């Protein structure tokens, strides 16, 4: 019996089986590809994070520690390929004579480095002037002392006579925070700021100068091992990599038994990457889970499109005395056949899409569980679509009810309990709650990234999405049932004199029509929200990168070699649309040294984006106009306003370095507004003022930074800018692409492109599937009616009136409500993911092209189905009647 | 002599299934004139339905030809000139009875008066109380009578009915035939009924017989009752 049934299915219902398998395949493929995204993104996050770290471990030796023994212990605890000894010594300060005056700094650090250090840890030092061989001085210290290459600096040692050294090079320390971190602080302790004054000496010379100080003041001198671990041995999964690194660190601590304190930079970074991985899961939940739900719904809907015929088949079996067990066995045969085909097609589709979009293999290590889950979901969705209705029909319906074509089925449970209204209310409450609690999904402060995820917030858009779909189903069902006359009028342009009877036909098939329309609503809503989020996210990533980099291309010099001096040459580079100079000085606010940016407020926006979100009042134009209108105006960061309790209009006395005497002098400013973020500025405390006023007050119009907006490829412009500035080693050129790359490896912008591209492809497939495949399968189920229409004398055009009316109704309701729902979901997503956006977007960016493509694909598949049905109905009616 | 409504000249129909040919109708020659009352008798599988489908232009002959000299081209026959009552259940499941009956009228030029004509046809056959029912709510016999109402509502020139009383008891079948024949008594509508039922055939003026796809057109000729 089973083989007869199976062969009958394959011979007579092959199209329906394949259609249902296609729906299963979409769900399976989407889940498998989401898994591939998670696995590959986690692996790439680990690799990126480890590669970008300048020093993995910093081991500070205790007094009297046996250095060779500790080195041996390191080798036993972990595999490493770089190890350098670094000496740190406190100094009372540094002195230098310049222009007949003596410049003195406060306390500083003298660091001893071996010549091989810069080769093994190249990211730690950046040469600005002179040579890396010999004595090096940090840029800020050089500025404070007014010294350059060849000048002499006095090191005032603790409890020892001062010594003089000659400066061989001026450097920048890009990773000063980690290089000078306090090792051994308790977790949660306030981070230690790097020293303001730093001098670097060759290690042997450092030993000669500071070993005596260590003898007298041992607490002022320390030795560190800087270690680079072999990253090839790290597991791909951030969680496992973090665990391995942490375990190795503990192993080392146990081996050296108090001979040193370890700063595990790698573990700290991987801890942040674990947060990134969590963020990837968050994105998966927000962007992927609805897709998976939709795919499962689609599977059920596709399977349900043959439900009335299946119900009639089963009624015939019951008439012929088949038991429920036999009926269920036959339904199970169909379910297993469909699931097997769907899983196979789904994996194949997933493999192709994963390779094309994610550049990842789905049969990679770590994917076994995802492949298993995807297959299980396919199996469950098929069972839910085929077996559950069969069981319900066998148990609850009489044979006559089951055999009915237009089944008078009871109102679904969700309608009776108003699940749609409940979900929408829940969504509103959760959204309101998350917005009013000031909750941000992801916090991305400077330093170690940290995530704060409230999983309840996920439910807001998800509930809205499902609630909208159910409400549409309820309202459309009601409208078709009670608004038949209105529908008839609306269909008159398509159906002509048949509009009344077409409306009656649609009203009686409202469950079927509603299901198609709602699936399209949900699919369009999904496609729209994903596309809106993706477009807005990408745009914000670029703004974020521009904020970090300063502009498309930024040339950063020093006060001695200002980039502004080359502005005219930089502006003349082909592809440069606008160029603006910007001062970057330092100013004391009380005892707090802060970054001060001097700008031309009227024109800065020509070279870099001035987002409304940068300013507390949300109005960039007005704020900059206010600054331009007041020479001594000052924009102050939120933190400083809070710390110093400033009120608009307050006079603020800053201390700025004067070119005339190289001393800090008080300069009065007027506080006119609050700035949250500014191109190239740090995120905590900084100031923005008029460049002309700063120049007047300091006697120096030097602009350290040049911002360039490109009309073409920023990388090409950056290349040309490097050529222009090649003669000045202190000038650094960076383009927005580099910042995007950096951002993409950090919390604020995990590489979401792969996921969203995948989602966008699936959204189109599902929109087409929801609209077209379900409609087509419904038509297959109704081919008898089409043949009868033809046999009764309906012309091609008249049959088209029935088909196109239904197609247009589904497409119109699906696309209009889907777009509206998707816009609302995207708005909700952007609000909930405010923490991801830096700065938050001012408005959603509509991807018209993609939305049009989604609409077109759904319309095309629906249209093809309608045309195919029209052509089918033109076949010989007698033959059709015989075959039915 | 009036022009025939339908004229079959050695018309035959051969179906092809796989590599084999299955002859359903072998070279039938016949004519139906206005006012004819014909019973087409024959066992199951003898080719009755095939001949009706060819006459209704639902199908095309693979041998010979079919023409409709008094009715016009094949494309213009349905729904207003030729009406059919199918052997298989033929009501559209998502339209109620009155809508099913008026559908062919809406498909044709009658348009505006469709509802009135449909109501009249239901009244004629005593089916008015079923007007709002869905086909799934009807018995087989009721559905067959509604199909007959649908066929006669448009006042066709030729009515072809394939086993129209197959699911009716004798009395109901007789009553249906009474109403049908009296309705068309004063009209020149030709009626061809394919049937197994000798009592039905006895009510018709002509009797054609079919066996193994072969048509005998002169089996009996009697006056129309």
A69 and B CB contact within 8 Å: no
User: Would you place residue B187 in the very low, low, confident or very high pLDDT band (cuts 50, 70, 90)?
Assistant: confident
CB contact under 8 A, A504 and B95: yes
Say if residue A714 is exposed, middle or buried (CB neighbours under 10 Å; 0-12, 13-18, 19+): buried
> Nearest C-alpha of chain A: how many angstroms from B201?
24
CB contact under 8 A, B88 and A884: yes
| DSSP-derived secondary structure for A433-499 | HHHHTT--SEE--SSS-EE---GGGGHHHHHHHHHHHHHHHHHHHHHHHH-HHHHHHHHHHHHGGGH
A798 and B CB contact within 8 Å: yes
Predicted confidence at residue A224, as pLDDT, reads 93
Q: Return the SS3 of B91.
A: coil
> Nearest C-alpha of chain A: how many angstroms from B77?
8
What are the residues facing B195 on neighbouring strands? Answer: B41
Residues of chain B contacting residue A403, judged by C-beta atoms under 8 Å apart: 136
pLDDT tens-digit profile of A672-704? 999 988 888 877 788 999 999 999 999 988 898
CB contact under 8 A, B84 and A498: no
Tell me whether the omega of the peptide bond preceding residue A832 falls within 30 degrees of 0, making it cis.
no
Sheet order of strands, B214-221 included: B82-85, B158-162, B190-195, B37-41, B206-211, B214-221
Structure tokens given for A837: 């956006």
Mean pLDDT for the stretch of residues A336-358: 88
Residues of chain B contacting residue A876, judged by C-beta atoms under 8 Å apart: 58-60
B96 and A CB contact within 8 Å: yes
Question: Is the confidence at residue A66, as pLDDT, over 80?
Answer: yes
B212 and A CB contact within 8 Å: no
Query: What interface predicted TM-score (ipTM) does this complex get?
Result: 0.90
Residue B216's contacts (CB-CB under 8 Å, 6 or more residues apart) are B208, B209, B210
Across the interface, of A789, A876, A884, the residue whose CB is closest to B58 is: A876
Report the chain A residue with the minimal C-alpha distance to residue B104. A792
Across the interface, of A501, A794, A876, the residue whose CB is closest to B95 is: A501
CB contact under 8 A, A793 and B104: yes
Predicted confidence at residue A582, as pLDDT, reads 93
Question: Is the confidence at residue A53, as pLDDT, over 70?
Answer: yes
pLDDT tens-digit profile of A129-147? 788 889 999 988 887 788 8
pLDDT tens-digit profile of A149-189? 888 999 999 889 999 999 999 888 878 888 888 887 655 55
Residues of chain A contacting residue B96, judged by C-beta atoms under 8 Å apart: 504
pLDDT tens-digit profile of A609-639? 888 878 888 889 999 999 999 999 999 998 8
CB contact under 8 A, B94 and A508: yes
Q: Return the SS3 of B218.
A: strand
pLDDT tens-digit profile of A260-305? 888 888 888 888 777 666 666 666 666 677 777 777 777 777 766 6
Mean pLDDT, chain A, rounded, equals 82
Cβ(A246)–Cβ(A264) below 8 Å = yes
pLDDT tens-digit profile of A555-591? 988 777 888 888 999 999 999 999 999 999 888 888 7
pLDDT tens-digit profile of B191-220? 999 988 888 889 899 999 999 989 887 555
Cβ(B38)–Cβ(B190) below 8 Å = yes
B131 and A CB contact within 8 Å: no
> Nearest C-alpha of chain B: how many angstroms from A502?
9
Predicted confidence at residue A439, as pLDDT, reads 53
Question: Which of residues 320 through 379 in chain A touch B, CB cutoff 8 A?
Answer: none
CB contact under 8 A, B94 and A498: no
CB contact under 8 A, B78 and A793: yes
Residues of chain A contacting residue B95, judged by C-beta atoms under 8 Å apart: 501, 504-505, 508
Residues of chain A contacting residue B11, judged by C-beta atoms under 8 Å apart: none
DSSP H or E stretch at residue A569: helix A567-571
- The proportion of chain A whose per-residue pLDDT surpasses 70, expressed as a percent, equals 87
Report the chain A residue with the minimal C-alpha distance to residue B109. A497
Mean pLDDT, chain B, rounded, equals 87
User: Would you place residue A353 in the very low, low, confident or very high pLDDT band (cuts 50, 70, 90)?
Assistant: confident
B42 and A CB contact within 8 Å: no
Structure tokens given for A882: 């015989």
pLDDT tens-digit profile of A381-436? 888 777 777 777 766 655 555 555 555 567 788 889 999 999 999 999 988 887 77
Structure tokens given for A857: 């694909």
CB contact under 8 A, A504 and B88: no
B185 and A CB contact within 8 Å: no
**Cβ neighbours, 10 Å, residue A205:** 14
CB contact under 8 A, B92 and A788: yes
């Amino acid at each position: 019996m089973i083989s007869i049934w199976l062969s009958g299915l394959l011979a007579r219902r092959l199209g329906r089986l394949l259609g249902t398998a296609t729906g299963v395949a979409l769900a399976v493929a989407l889940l498998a590809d989401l898994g591939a995204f998670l696995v590959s993104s986690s692996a790439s996050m680990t690799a990126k994070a480890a590669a970008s770290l300048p020093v993995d471990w910093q081991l500070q030796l205790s007094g009297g520690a046996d250095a060779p023994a500790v080195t041996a212990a390191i080798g036993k605890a972990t595999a490493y390929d770089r190890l350098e000894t670094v000496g740190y010594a406190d100094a009372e300060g540094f002195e230098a004579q310049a222009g007949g005056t003596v410049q003195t700094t406060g306390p500083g650090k003298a660091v001893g480095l071996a010549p091989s250090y810069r080769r093994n840890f190249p990211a730690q030092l950046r040469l600005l002037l002179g040579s890396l061989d010999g004595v090096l001085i940090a840029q800020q210290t050089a500025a404070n002392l007014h010294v350059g290459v060849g000048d002499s600096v006095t090191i005032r040692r603790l409890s020892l006579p001062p010594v003089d050294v000659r400066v061989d090079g001026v450097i920048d320390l890009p990773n000063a925070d980690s290089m000078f971190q306090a090792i051994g602080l308790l977790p949660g302790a306030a981070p230690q700021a790097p020293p303001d004054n730093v001098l670097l000496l060759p290690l042997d010379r450092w030993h000669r100068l500071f070993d005596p100080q260590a003898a007298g003041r041992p607490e002022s001198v320390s030795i560190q091992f800087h270690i680079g671990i072999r990253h090839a041995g790290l597991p791909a999964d951030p969680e496992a990599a973090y665990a391995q690194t942490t375990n190795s660190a503990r192993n080392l601590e146990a081996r050296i038994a108090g001979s040193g304190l370890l700063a595990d930079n790698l573990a700290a970074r991987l801890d942040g990457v674990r947060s990134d991985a969590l963020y990837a899961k968050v994105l998966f939940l927000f962007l992927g889970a609805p897709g998976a739900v939709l795919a499962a719904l689609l599977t059920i809907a596709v399977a349900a499109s043959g439900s009335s015929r299946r119900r009639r088949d089963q009624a015939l079996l019951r008439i012929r005395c088949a038991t429920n067990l036999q009926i269920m066995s036959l339904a199970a045969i169909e379910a297993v056949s469909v699931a097997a085909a769907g899983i196979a097609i789904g994996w194949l589709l997933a493999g192709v899409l994963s390779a094309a979009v994610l550049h990842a293999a789905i049969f990679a290590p770590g994917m076994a569980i995802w492949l298993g889950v995807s297959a299980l979901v396919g199996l469950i969705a098929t069972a839910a679509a085929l077996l559950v209705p069969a069981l319900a029909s066998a148990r609850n319906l009489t044979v006559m009810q089951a055999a009915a074509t237009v089944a008078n089925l009871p109102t679904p449970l969700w309608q009776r309990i108003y699940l749609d209204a409940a979900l929408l209310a829940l969504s509103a409450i959760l959204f309101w709650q998350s917005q009013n609690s000031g909750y941000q999904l992801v916090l991305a402060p400077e330093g170690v990234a940290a995530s704060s995820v409230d999983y309840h917030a996920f439910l807001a858009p998800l509930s809205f999405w499902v609630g909208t779909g159910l409400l549409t189903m309820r309202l459309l069902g009601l409208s078709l049932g009670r608004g038949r006359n209105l529908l008839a009028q609306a269909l008159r342009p398509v159906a002509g004199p048949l509009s009344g009877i077409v409306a009656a036909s649609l009203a009686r098939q409202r469950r079927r029509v509603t299901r198609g329309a709602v699936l399209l609503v949900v699919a369009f809503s999904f496609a729209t929200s994903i596309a809106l989020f993706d477009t807005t996210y990408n745009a914000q990533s670029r703004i974020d990168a521009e904020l970090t980099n300063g502009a498309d291309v930024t040339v950063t010099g020093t006060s001695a070699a200002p980039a502004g001096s080359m502005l005219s040459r930089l502006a003349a580079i082909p592809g440069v649309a606008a160029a603006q100079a910007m001062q970057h000085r330092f100013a004391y606010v009380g005892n707090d040294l802060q970054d001060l940016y001097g700008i031309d407020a009227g024109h800065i926006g020509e070279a870099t984006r001035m987002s409304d979100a940068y300013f507390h009042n949300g109005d960039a134009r007005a704020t900059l106009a206010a600054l331009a209108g007041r020479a001594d105006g000052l924009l102050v960061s939120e933190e400083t306003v809070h710390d110093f309790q400033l009120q608009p209009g307050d006079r603020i006395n800053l201390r700025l370095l004067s070119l005339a005497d190289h001393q800090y002098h008080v300069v009065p400013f007027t506080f006119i507004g609050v700035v949250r973020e500014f191109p190239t500025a740090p995120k905590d405390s900084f100031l923005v003022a008029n460049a002309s006023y700063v120049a007047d007050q300091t006697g120096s119009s030097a602009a350290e930074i040049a911002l360039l907006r490109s009309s073409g490829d920023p990388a090409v412009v950056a290349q040309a800018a490097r050529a222009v500035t090649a003669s000045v080693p202190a000038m650094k050129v960076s383009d927005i692409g580099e910042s995007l790359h950096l951002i993409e490896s950090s919390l604020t912008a995990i590489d979401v492109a792969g996921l969203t591209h995948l989602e966008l492809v699936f959204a189109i497939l599902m929109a087409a599937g929801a609209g077209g495949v379900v409609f087509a399968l419904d038509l297959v189920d109704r081919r008898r009616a089409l043949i009868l229409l033809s046999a009764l004398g309906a012309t091609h055009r008249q049959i088209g009136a029935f088909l196109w009316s239904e197609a247009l109704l589904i497409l119109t309701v699906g696309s209009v409500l889907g777009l509206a729902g998707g816009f609302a979901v995207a708005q909700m997503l952007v609000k909930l993911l405010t923490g991801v956006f830096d700065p938050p977007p001012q408005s959603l960016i509509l991807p018209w092209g993609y939305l049009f493509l989604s609409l077109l694909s759904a319309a095309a598949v629906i249209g093809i189905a309608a045309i195919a049905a029209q052509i089918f109905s033109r076949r010989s009616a007698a033959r059709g009647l015989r075959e039915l | 002599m009036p022009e025939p409504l339908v004229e079959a000249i050695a018309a035959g129909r051969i179906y092809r299934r796989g590599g084999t040919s299955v002859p359903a109708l072998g070279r039938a020659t016949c004519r139906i004139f206005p006012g004819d009352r014909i019973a087409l008798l024959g066992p199951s599988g003898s080719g009755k339905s095939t001949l009706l489908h060819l006459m209704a232009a639902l199908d095309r002959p693979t041998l010979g030809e079919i023409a409709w000299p008094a009715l016009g081209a094949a494309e213009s026959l349905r729904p207003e000139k030729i009406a059919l009552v199918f052997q298989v259940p033929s009501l559209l499941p998502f339209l109620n009875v009155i809508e099913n009956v008026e559908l062919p009228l809406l498909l044709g030029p009658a348009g505006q008066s469709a509802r009135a004509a449909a109501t009249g046809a239901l009244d004629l056959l005593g089916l008015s109380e079923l007007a709002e029912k869905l086909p799934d709510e009807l018995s087989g016999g009721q559905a067959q009578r509604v199909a007959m109402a649908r066929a006669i509502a448009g006042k066709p020139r030729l009515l072809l009915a394939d086993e129209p009383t197959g699911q009716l008891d004798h009395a109901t079948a007789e009553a249906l035939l009474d109403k049908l024949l009296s309705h068309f008594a004063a009209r020149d509508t030709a009626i061809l009924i394919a049937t197994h039922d000798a009592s039905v055939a006895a009510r018709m003026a002509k009797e054609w017989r079919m066996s193994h796809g072969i048509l005998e057109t002169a089996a009996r000729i009697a006056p129309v009752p």
